[in-house]
Amino acid sequence: MKNSLAGIVVLLTSTFVSAQTPAPAPTPLTRHYREGETIAYRMTATNDDWHYTAEASGRVKKTTGGSYVEEFRWSNMTSKGQAVTLQPATAQSRELLSLDPGWMPSGPDLTKAERQMVGPITDLFTFYVDLWLVNKIGALRQPGDHFHVPNPQVGSWGDGTHVLIGKDHIEFDLNLQSIDQAKQTAVIMVHHVPPSHPNLEFPAAWMLAPVADTSNNWVEVRKTEDGNYLAAVGKETFDVSIVVSTADGRILSADMDNPVVTRRRQCHDAALTQCGDANPQTIHRHVAIVLEQ
């Protein structure tokens, strides 16, 4: 499910930075919440030849545990320039996000989300968890500061029916690029990069050969309508740039570039040994959000 890779990968960061870790000292990026505060973003995105927009409107709430969360609802989606009527379950659902280091991120509930909303929901989650991780670690204080986060976890988006295998393995490279004292903004860059030795098991020997300049860190096997299999392997990366308000820590805007360079083959057997010629394909996604004033 190529439109949900980013969010699914990023939720794994929460598994190795415990919410019980003491909060770091405030940095220029620290989020200063006010209960009842409202916030809204407009998202624009391309996923290969699919273009869409959506809006997320949120309100800050304080949990019984003392953490702050932003409760978002989605609306005003367009697909290829046409308005989309969201199903009632989607329109009524809420997405909880937070930049509070005391809050432990958890994956968004996609059980009630229609397919075309999976991308927007998980991509907003990606932006928030990337900055949450920066705030939780608290190591980025001056321009040029850098912190690499190893990731032992493998992300998965397979459903066992249509996507028989869907896995990737990515690590996180956090960077504070700049601080503008006059504009009260900071720019964070998070590189999502392949590990030196991805922890993936490939179902066929031909998938071991690197597609690009690193070991393969992405694999997918889909069951096709004619009973055959579409198998692909390759390299996934994505770069996330976030402009943060140093006045209150809000995300002012964010941008994600997500290419997946793959080699694909049509196969007739589940073992993926009776396959046609390999065909190169690059999946390319670009997602941006802007704070609506």
DSSP sequence for 154-221: -EE---SSSEEEEEE--EEEEEEEEEETTTTEEEEEEEEE--SS-----SSGGGSS-SSSS---EEEE
- Going residue by residue through the chain (293 aa), what tens digit of pLDDT does each one get? 343 333 333 444 444 455 455 666 788 999 999 999 999 999 999 988 889 999 999 999 999 999 999 999 999 999 999 999 988 888 888 999 999 998 988 777 777 778 788 889 989 998 999 999 999 999 999 999 999 988 888 887 777 878 899 899 999 999 999 999 999 999 999 999 999 999 999 999 999 999 999 999 999 999 999 999 999 999 999 899 999 999 999 999 999 999 999 999 999 999 999 999 999 999 899 999 999 97
| Total number of domains in the chain | 1
Helix (H, G, I), strand (E, B) or coil at 146: strand
Rounded Cα distance between 40 and 57, Å, is 4
Rounded Cα distance between 135 and 26, Å, is 9
Identity at 103, one-letter amino acid code: W
Q: For residue 248, what are the domain limits?
A: 2-291
Tokens representing residue 169 in the block: 């393995």
pLDDT at residue 255, as a whole number? 97
Tokens representing residue 267 in the block: 């196969």
Rounded Cα distance between 271 and 238, Å, is 30
Tell me which H or E stretch contains 6. helix 5-10
Rounded Cα distance between 60 and 36, Å, is 5
In angstroms, how far apart are the furthest CA atoms of the chain?
Answer: 62
User: Residue 73 contacts by C-beta under 8 Å, 6 or more apart in sequence?
Assistant: 56, 57, 58, 91, 92, 93, 94, 95
Task: Please state whether beta strands 238-245 and 185-193 pair in parallel, antiparallel, or not at all (unpaired).
Answer: antiparallel
Identity at 289, one-letter amino acid code: I
pTM of the model: 0.84
Eight-class DSSP state of 81: T
User: Residue 284 contacts by C-beta under 8 Å, 6 or more apart in sequence?
Assistant: 46, 48, 258, 259, 260
Give yes or no for a contact between 190 and 175, defined as CB atoms under 8 angstroms apart.
yes
Nearest Cα to Cα of residue 45 among 266, 260, 289, 291: 289
Identity at 71, one-letter amino acid code: E
Tell me which H or E stretch contains 133. helix 118-137
Eight-class DSSP state of 101: T
